[in-house]
Structure 1
Amino acid sequence: MTQQNLTAELFLKIADHTLLAPGTTPAELDAFLVTAADIGVVRVCVSPALLPADAQGAEIVTVVGFPSGAHHTEVKVAETVRAVADGAQEIDMVVNRGLVRAGRWADVEAEIRAVREACQGLVLKVIIESAALSDDEIVGACRAAEAAGADFVKTSTGFDPAGGASVHAVRLMAVTVGDRLGVKASGGIRTATAVRELWAAGATRFGVSGTAAILAEWDAPATLNEAGSSFDSGTY
């Protein structure tokens, strides 16, 4: 897939401006949403317990089965139903990684399909925690997500010690799903350089918390961190 030029304006349209820190207070949420409106993002991604919320015109994304994914399917479905009732317009679910690693693809697909049915008409993204999977597991998880009717596959929660998004994982995911699904890159994306690298690899959506900082250095010369990478090893 050939990607168009990624401008700052387009980035704002495809960035899920994210606040998933445990312990977030209502006052911190309000401040985050005001800042999101000032930045001009189209979507905000917040924890389900913070909903309902006044997103000041932005679409609301929330997470289910977060961050481990080690929840019963029925629990993820219940979370989804509640999130939709509370105003979520997109759902980012964490897949059961144990099922993925065991190669139980029918069970992986069934779990995703159950959540899909609980949020019909809304965008569903499946978080596979790519840094903790082998290439074959990444491909299998992406195929299961597509078969179950998901709209996106997503690299990471941003909370796993294995790491966040990588160019390799995004490229593999993009090749696997083609133009049929979107690919959301998330976890440790803190620079405009990282965003551009992931975009070139096939990312079509981004989960980022440092959106304003990324935009502030959008036209600055590219720089690498001390490890020689434009990615941060930390979380969102």
Structure 2
Amino acid sequence: MDINNYIEHTLLKPSATERQIIDLCNGAKKNGLFAVCVNSCYVPLAKQLLSESEVKIVSVIGFPLGAMATEVKVFEAKNAIREGAEEIDMVINIGFLKSQNYVAVFKDLSDVKRAIGNTPLKVILEISELSKNEIVKACEICVDAKVDFIKTSTGFSKSGATLTAVKIIKKIVKDRAKIKASGGITDVITAKKYIEAGADRIGTSSGVAMMTSKVL
């Protein structure tokens, strides 16, 4: 298994500096990682650094709370793509989901997906905030909205990915959407367990460290 093909090397801290983004992108290029995942303000810099590489650029929108108006998410997504993002990671509206306002959740997702067309859309569930039944319902709405990926976590809540959640998501979506496991995955052995459980991508700030560790 070429683990590097699954890794989205991530830096989303609000304190992230330009120097750190440069190091992130250079590390991803050197180690042949699949993508970098950055806040939208750093998409132009990432595009400049990665223009002659195969490393993709992922940008987050509605991050990390997901509680922005849909129109704001649409604008942010379209702007990130215009500046060079090739995939979009969007936080679901957790409050709407918990309110059982499923129509509003669906509209939020489908409006963004419609706006960005063929650009892959990953929807972040923030599983640490949800019950099993809420995870199941969120997955069903994501499938109905024709999103491309379901992502476990922002990394900014109480905890990150769990193998149990990935297995639940996989059982619901089957092959109708892919899965990105993110949050708390810091070594190759753990990453492989998530891939075996059904994850198609791994979001981690430890991408380079994984590649340079002795245990591969």
TM-score (norm 2): 0.93
Shift in Å at residue 27 of structure 1? 2.2
Shift in Å at residue 214 of structure 1? 1.9
> Which residue number corresponds to residue 181 of structure 1?
177
> Which residue number corresponds to residue 166 of structure 1?
162
Equivalent pairs, count: 211
Shift in Å at residue 218 of structure 1? 6.1
Change (3 A) 1:122 1:218: farther
> Which of 136, 147, 155 is equivalent to 2:144?
147
> Which residue number corresponds to residue 229 of structure 1?
none
Q: Any stretches of 5+ residues in structure 2 without a counterpart?
A: none
* C-alpha distance after superposition, 1:157-210 (max 9, x if no partner): 00112x100011000001110011101000010112211221221111110110
> Which residue number corresponds to residue 187 of structure 2?
191
> Which of 10, 21, 29 is equivalent to 2:21?
29
Whether contact under 8 Å (2:65, 2:91) holds in the other structure is: yes
Q: Any stretches of 5+ residues in structure 1 without a counterpart?
A: 1-6, 221-236
Whether contact under 8 Å (1:99, 1:108) holds in the other structure is: yes
Whether contact under 8 Å (1:90, 1:123) holds in the other structure is: yes
Residue 177 of structure 1 aligns to which amino acid in structure 2?
Answer: V
* C-alpha distance after superposition, 1:96-138 (max 9, x if no partner): 0011111221111110001101211111000000121001100
RMSD after superposition: 1.3
Shift in Å at residue 70 of structure 1? 1.1
Whether contact under 8 Å (1:184, 1:205) holds in the other structure is: yes
Q: Does 1:43 align with 2:35?
A: yes
Flag as ranges the 4+ runs of structure 1 deviating above 4 A. Answer: none
Whether contact under 8 Å (2:87, 2:119) holds in the other structure is: yes
Whether contact under 8 Å (1:174, 1:202) holds in the other structure is: yes
Whether contact under 8 Å (2:9, 2:208) holds in the other structure is: no
* C-alpha distance after superposition, 1:30-51 (max 9, x if no partner): 1221111111112111110112
Distance in 2 separating the partners of 1:218 and 1:50: 31
Higher mean Cα deviation, 98-107 or 87-96?
Answer: 98-107
Higher mean Cα deviation, 107-116 or 14-23?
Answer: 14-23
Give the 5 Å matches for 1:26-175: 26-53=18-45, 54-56=48-50, 57=53, 58-161=55-158, 163-175=159-171
Q: Does 1:216 align with 2:212?
A: yes
Whether contact under 8 Å (1:171, 1:201) holds in the other structure is: yes
Distance in 1 separating the partners of 2:72 and 2:165: 28
Shift in Å at residue 14 of structure 1? 1.7
Higher helix share: 2
Residue 198 of structure 1 aligns to which amino acid in structure 2?
Answer: Y
TM-score (norm 1): 0.86
Distance in 1 separating the partners of 2:11 and 2:31: 14
